[in-house]
């Protein structure tokens, strides 16, 4: 009987428990549990409901027990940059504030009192995003210093849930790098930077590589869910896991991890922290085995998710794609990375206002709004490919799109057209797959990441889109 490995993949809008196992030489996946997620307004902040999320994590474990499919190990991946502060008794200090909260506004000006943006990028290789952990912590230090005084440990979101499951604290490498607080040369926290900013050094736990065994479920959790298993740290940043599942088959390709965000980049062995990469707003996030994910954070499907929600979810994403394709000649485009679209009260209105302000036709139908989003995204991908090739000095043969967005055939075709490159789409469950593969590598199911990627290629359908 094959061993089961459990990936708990929590995104900004939903989470799921996926069991992975090998059967007849092929990787198999089985969804065990799915649940909703999202930020809520609490005391004037946009917050994650960490208690509800932990309850859902345990609910999924109980379903494994009910199904008689007990995993030998599990690991959690989530979005990046957000964190929880923990006191000496292991209790959360303050709220688990989300990255779309406004508390970091003007924190770049505050940060410039301590270090320039150029020096910061040179030290961390991470693109400027006002929601990065470095700015969030500065907001806490500036506006709520009492929280830092009470805190004994800072745990990034997946690290926090691993702690609740095991009672053990650690910082997983890939999620740590998202916060702009890790030095790519030392692959450790930048303690000199902490001194400059006045961040207490003691709150940052030891960094561990993906694939590390954290420990077993605590006795209390094991009793509640009905079994115990190992916690193996995956690439805990969801993009880090997704990139592990890119079935590139040895050919150097650009990848797009396509979900709420589009993370578009290449895999490198050394970080690139140059003036050119900073100007292009490219980032060096840590990956499995100390690889670097040299990429750009692009607004992604958040825009179409928001549009769909504003239409009362009466259209599926497939229907929005179809309607967009019917009016594909609609000419208007938006800058998908403009701040207008980060957290607007109405995404549709933000798109219409942008078009009106820039002298373009204003979309009126769901199809027109959707085609503006999809066409604008594809054109952004086209520009980003050129930047990646110019800075790395390489020409890439193809683009691998993984994650939920790989199912958007219309967008995949637009991407092939805009980049002039062959697009390979799939697998859709890349994040969960990467999480599971990290556990399998630790268990010895595969002897290398290359072997695991070949298994993914052989096990899951990948569609091809040629430029037109």
Residue 147 has a pLDDT of 97
- pLDDT range class, residue 250, cuts 50, 70, 90: low
Q: 238 an active-site residue? A: yes
Cα separations in angstroms, 376 against 124, 298, 307, 326, 388:
30, 11, 14, 16, 18
Task: Give per-residue pLDDT as tens, 269-319.
Answer: 999 999 999 999 999 999 999 999 999 989 889 999 999 999 999 999 999
Whole-number average pLDDT of the chain? 96
- DSSP annotation string for 132-195: SHHHHHHHHHHH-HHHHHH-SEEEEHHHHHHHHHHS---EEHHHHHTTT-EETTTTEE-HHHHH
Task: Tell me the average pLDDT across 321-343.
Answer: 95
Place of tokens 């991407």: 415
Residue 252 has a pLDDT of 81
Say whether pLDDT at 192 is over 90: yes
Sequence-separated (6 or more) residues with CB below 8 Å from residue 440: 5, 20, 22, 446, 452
Say whether pLDDT at 249 is over 80: no
- pLDDT range class, residue 251, cuts 50, 70, 90: confident
Does 3.30.420.40 match the CATH number of domain 238-468?
Answer: yes
In this structure, the strands spanning 14-23 and 4-10 are antiparallel
- DSSP annotation string for 78-97: B-SS-EEEE-TTSPEES--B
Whether 4-232 shares its CATH topology with 238-468 is answered: yes
Residue 263 has a pLDDT of 93
Task: Give per-residue pLDDT as tens, 203-230.
Answer: 999 999 999 999 999 999 999 999 999 9
Q: Which of 9, 119, 238, 340 is catalytic?
A: 238
Say whether pLDDT at 412 is over 70: yes
- pLDDT range class, residue 91, cuts 50, 70, 90: very high
Q: Are 403 and 258 in contact (CB under 8 A)?
A: yes
Task: Tell me the average pLDDT across 235-248.
Answer: 93
Q: Is 398 exposed, middle or buried (0-12, 13-18, 19+ CB in 10 A)?
A: middle
Of 161-175, 236-250, 323-337, 426-440, which range is least confident? 236-250
In the chain, where the domains are located: 4-232, 238-468
Residue 2 has a pLDDT of 87
Task: Tell me the average pLDDT across 393-422.
Answer: 95
From the options 3.30.70.2860, 3.30.420.40, 3.40.1710.10, 3.30.390.10, give the CATH code of 4-232: 3.30.420.40
Angle of helix 302-310 relative to helix 317-326, nearest 10 degrees?
A: 100
- pLDDT range class, residue 360, cuts 50, 70, 90: very high
Task: Tell me the average pLDDT across 381-409.
Answer: 95
């Amino acid at each position: 009987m094959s061993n089961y490995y459990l990936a708990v993949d929590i995104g900004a809008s939903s989470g799921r428990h996926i069991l992975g196992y090998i059967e007849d030489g092929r990787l198999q996946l089985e969804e065990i549990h799915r649940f909703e997620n999202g930020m809520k307004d609490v005391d004037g902040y946009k917050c994650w409901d960490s208690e509800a999320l932990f309850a859902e994590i345990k609910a999924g474990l109980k379903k494994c027990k009910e199904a008689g499919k007990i995993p030998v190990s599990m690991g959690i991946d989530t979005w990046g940059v957000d964190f929880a502060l923990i006191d000496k008794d292991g209790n959360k200090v303050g709220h688990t504030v989300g990255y779309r909260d406004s508390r970091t506004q003007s924190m770049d000006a505050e940060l410039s009192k301590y270090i320039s943006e150029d020096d910061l990028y040179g030290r961390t290789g991470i693109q400027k995003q006002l929601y990065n952990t470095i700015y969030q912590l500065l907001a806490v230090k500036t506006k709520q210093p009492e929280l830092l005084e009470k805190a004994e440990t800072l745990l990034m979101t997946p690290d926090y849930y691993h702690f609740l499951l095991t009672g053990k604290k650690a910082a997983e490498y890939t999620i740590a790098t998202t916060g702009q607080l890790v030095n790519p040369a030392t692959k450790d926290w930048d303690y000199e930077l902490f001194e400059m900013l006045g961040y207490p050094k003691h709150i940052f736990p030891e960094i561990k590589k993906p694939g590390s065994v954290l420990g077993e479920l605590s006795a209390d959790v094991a009793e509640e869910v009905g079994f115990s298993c190992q916690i193996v740290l995956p690439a805990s940043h969801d993009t880090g896991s997704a990139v592990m599942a890119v079935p590139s088959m040895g050919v150097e390709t650009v990848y797009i991890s396509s979900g709420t965000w589009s993370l578009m980049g290449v895999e490198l062995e050394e970080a690139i922290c140059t003036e050119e990469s900073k100007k292009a707003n490219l980032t060096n996030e840590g990956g499995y085995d100390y690889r670097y994910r040299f990429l750009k954070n692009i607004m992604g499907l958040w825009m179409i998710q928001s549009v769909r929600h504003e239409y009362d979810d009466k259209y599926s994403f497939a229907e929005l794609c179809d309607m967009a394709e019917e009016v594909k000649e609609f000419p208007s485009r938006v800058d998908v990375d403009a701040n207008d679209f980060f957290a607007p009260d109405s995404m549709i209105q933000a798109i219409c206002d942008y078009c009106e302000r820039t002298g373009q036709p204003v979309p009126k139908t769901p199809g027109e709004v959707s085609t503006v989003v999809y066409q604008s995204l594809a054109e952004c991908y086209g520009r980003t490919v050129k930047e990646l090739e110019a800075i790395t000095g390489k020409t890439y043969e193809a683009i691998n799109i993984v994650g939920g967005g790989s199912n958007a055939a219309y967008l995949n075709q637009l991407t092939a057209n805009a980049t002039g490159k062959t697009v390979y789409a799939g697998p859709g469950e890349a994040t969960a797959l990467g999480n599971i593969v990290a556990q399998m590598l630790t268990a010895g199911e595969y002897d290398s990441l290359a072997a695991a990627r070949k298994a993914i290629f052989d096990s899951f359908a990948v569609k091809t889109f040629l430029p037109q």
